[in-house]
């Protein structure tokens, strides 16, 4: 499967891996197969299928306790998805840290272990962590050298090309030229030992260097497969062809090449396609349009930076909320009485709390609206993260002495001893404001989350189970009323 993936036969590799995933006799083989499927879907940009595959891969890897290689590879691939499509800085960084820690704990010495470090280096580079990517690639190369794996199987051309482009877009084109030239000279002697994915990046680097005025008198085009199902490879071929056409002054053909394919920002960022388009317009002689296209390049960068700032603040808020959740859960340290996912009291602790209440109070049943869409669209990992986030939000707004419990699924119970309907209304309003203020679009894009709340009055000598039932019915009545508004 590794050879199929490296040669661009990704659809074939995914089909083969799917057969293994459902029929392999060992947990390790099944987990490895699910990771190949996930990697193939990333390469083909089958984004709608990735959440379910992430869940399957997560479950399969968890069954292989102590397999740090599989754990590290899973978290690396999960980081790619959370960076590009969930757009969560917090989740991306968390997965990258977990991946690196797992691989550092790995004692395995094999081609697969080398590949795991290589995959992590590639994802880090793809997500913009260039320094950390270089460090992971060094780990990859050291392990390869130690166990006699040919370095040509894990060159990392992609990482150095991205580093060169970073120099270009931060105002140092000479450094970009130097890095591209050095990399191409380094890999030229052993081109036939490289896999096809590395050759795709070399093909693009040659075209981009030529556009900078330093054309190399050799090519790898004849070494590329005629067809490929890799979205990344198709993007790179379009960018390489456009670069060569611009360098030759064939602006209209370069524009046609760029417009014939929607180049994914996942391959090489948001700026490169826009920048090449502006250069193609200059080559065409359409200077007015080229100025507008240059502004579009700047706007793409501004938009990305602005989005990054929003995501950064959202991630910082998540850290604050998680810290509040840990403090709120500290009082319920007994694991038998604690929900594993959120750290909140569970049903056992709730029942004991209700049995000890003397006097009246209020009980609420809270249920998330839109949570099924989160799981269906983004997978259960994202769903679990949202439950933790909601638990943190709820913990931050309830009163001291109240009890907030998670009793299963997306249902929470809130008990307010000695409270009145007025107190309940005030708490409901704080909850609604907190949930509405959350930027769910950056955590789970396209699937907003809300909460329905039903209250019932707890009276002295009453039956807590009946009160809970009444609160549950009030919650469903609210849910129905909001649904048909």
Q: What is the pLDDT of residues 44-72, one digit of tens each?
A: 888 889 999 999 999 999 999 889 999 99
| Nearest partner of 385 among 97, 82, 126, judged by Cα | 82
220 inside domain = no
pLDDT band at 327 (very low <50, low <70, confident <90, very high): low
pLDDT band at 246 (very low <50, low <70, confident <90, very high): very high
Residue 162 in domain: no
Q: Are 408 and 347 within 8 A, CB to CB?
A: yes
- Reported in sequence order, the residue ranges of 330-391 that DSSP labels E, i.e. its strands, are 361-369
| Structural contact between residues 78 and 54, judged by C-beta atoms closer than 8 angstroms | yes
DSSP single-letter state for residue 379: -
Say what the pLDDT of residue 160 is. 94
| Distance, first Cα to last Cα, the chain | 52
- Checking if the pLDDT of 337 tops 50, the result is yes
pLDDT top residue among 130 and 2: 130
What percentage of the chain reaches a pLDDT higher than 70? 87
Contacts of 178 (CB under 8 A, 6+ apart): none
**For residue 169, is pLDDT > 90?**
no
Place of tokens 């490895």: 32
Q: Which of the four pLDDT bands, split at 50, 70 and 90, describes residue 198?
A: very high
Q: Measured between alpha carbons, how far is 394 from 408 in angstroms, rounded to an integer?
A: 16
According to DSSP, residue 343 is labeled -
Domain ranges, residue 422 = 333-483
Query: What is the average pLDDT value for the chain, to the nearest integer?
Result: 86
* 128: in domain: no
pLDDT of 480 higher than 90: no
Return the CATH number at 363. 3.30.70.270
Single out the residue of 100, 104, 148, 107 nearest to residue 124, CA to CA: 100
Mean pLDDT of 216-222: 92
Q: Quick one: pLDDT band at residue 374, thresholds 50, 70, 90?
A: confident
Q: pLDDT above 90 covers what percent of the chain?
A: 44
CA distance 441 to 314: 10
Q: Provide the strand spans (E) within 256-402.
A: 361-369
What is residue 179's predicted lDDT score, i.e. its pLDDT?
95
Q: Please state, in angstroms and rounded to a whole number, the distance separating the CA atoms of residues 189 and 185.
A: 8
Question: Is a pLDDT exceeding 50 seen at residue 485?
Answer: no
What's the pLDDT score for residue 484?
Answer: 40
Between 85-99, 285-299, 384-398, the lowest mean confidence (pLDDT) is in 285-299
The CA–CA distances, whole Å, from 443 to 36, 80, 99, 270, 451 equal 26, 14, 21, 21, 16
Residue 467 inside a domain? The answer is: yes
Tell me, yes or no, whether 2 lies in a domain: no
Helix then strand then coil, % of the chain, to nearest 5:
70, 5, 20
For the question of whether the overall pTM of this predicted structure is more than 0.75, the answer is no
Q: pLDDT at position 258, please?
A: 93
Total domains in the chain come to 1
Structural domain includes residue 338: yes
- Domain presence at residue 394: yes
Give the per-residue pLDDT at 36: 92
pLDDT for residue 249 is more than 80: yes
List, for residues 257-300, the tens digit of each pLDDT value: 999 999 988 898 878 888 898 888 888 887 666 666 665 666 56
- DSSP at 399: P
User: Could you give the CA distance from residue 153 to residue 204 in angstroms, rounded to a whole number?
Assistant: 19
Element (H, E) at 297: helix 287-329
Whether 354 is in a domain gets the answer yes
Strand partners, 416: 362
pLDDT of 313 reads 52
pLDDT band at 311 (very low <50, low <70, confident <90, very high): low
């Amino acid at each position: 499967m590794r050879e199929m993936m490296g040669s661009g036969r990704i659809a074939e590799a995914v089909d083969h891996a799917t057969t293994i995933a459902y029929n392999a006799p060992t947990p390790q083989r099944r987990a490895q197969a699910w990771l190949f499927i996930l990697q193939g879907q990333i390469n083909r940009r089958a984004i709608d299928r990735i959440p379910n595959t992430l869940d399957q891969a997560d479950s399969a890897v968890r069954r292989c306790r102590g397999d740090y290689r599989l754990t590290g590879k899973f978290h690396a691939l999960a980081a790619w998805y959370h960076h590009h499509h969930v757009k969560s800085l917090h989740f991306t960084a968390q997965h990258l840290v977990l991946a690196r820690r797992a691989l550092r704990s790995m004692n395995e010495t094999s081609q697969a272990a080398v590949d795991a470090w290589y995959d992590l280096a590639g994802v880090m580079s793809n997500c913009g962590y260039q320094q950390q990517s270089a460090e992971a690639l060094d780990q990859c190369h050291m392990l390869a050298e130690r166990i006699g794996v040919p370095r040509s199987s894990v060159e990392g051309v992609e990482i150095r090309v991205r580093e060169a482009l970073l120099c270009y877009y931060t105002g140092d084109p000479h450094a970009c030229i130097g890095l591209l030239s050095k990399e191409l000279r380094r890999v030229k002697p052993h081109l036939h030992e490289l896999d096809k994915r590395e050759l795709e990046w070399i093909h693009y680097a040659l075209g981009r260097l030529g556009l900078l005025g330093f054309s190399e008198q050799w090519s790898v085009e004849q070494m590329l497969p005629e067809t490929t199902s890799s979205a990344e490879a198709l993007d790179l071929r379009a960018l390489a062809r456009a670069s060569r056409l611009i360098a030759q002054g064939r602006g209209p053909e370069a524009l046609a090449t760029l417009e014939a394919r929607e180049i994914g920002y996942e391959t090489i960022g948001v700026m490169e396609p826009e920048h090449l388009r502006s250069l193609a317009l200059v080559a065409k002689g359409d200077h007015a349009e080229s100025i507008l296209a240059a502004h579009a390049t700047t706007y793409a960068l501004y938009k990305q930076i602005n989005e990054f700032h929003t995501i950064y603040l959202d991630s910082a808020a998540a850290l604050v909320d998680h810290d509040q959740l840990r403090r709120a859960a500290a009082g319920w340290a007994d694991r038998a009485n604690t929900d594993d996912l959120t750290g909140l009291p569970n049903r056992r602790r709730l029942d004991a709390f209700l049995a000890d209440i003397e006097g009246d109070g209020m009980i609420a049943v809270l249920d998330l609206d839109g949570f099924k869409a989160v799981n269906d669209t983004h997978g259960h990992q994202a769903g679990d993260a949202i439950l933790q986030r909601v638990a943190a939000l709820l913990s931050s707004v309830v009163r001291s002495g109240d009890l907030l419990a998670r009793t299963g699924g997306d249902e929470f119970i809130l008990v307010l001893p000695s409270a009145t309907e007025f107190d309940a209304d005030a708490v409901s309003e704080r909850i609604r404001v907190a949930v509405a203020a959350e930027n769910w679009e950056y955590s789970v894009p396209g699937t907003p989350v809300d909460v329905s709340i039903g209250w019932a009055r707890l009276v002295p000598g009453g039956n807590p189970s009946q009160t809970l039932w009444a609160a549950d019915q009030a919650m469903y009545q609210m849910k129905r009323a909001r649904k048909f508004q």
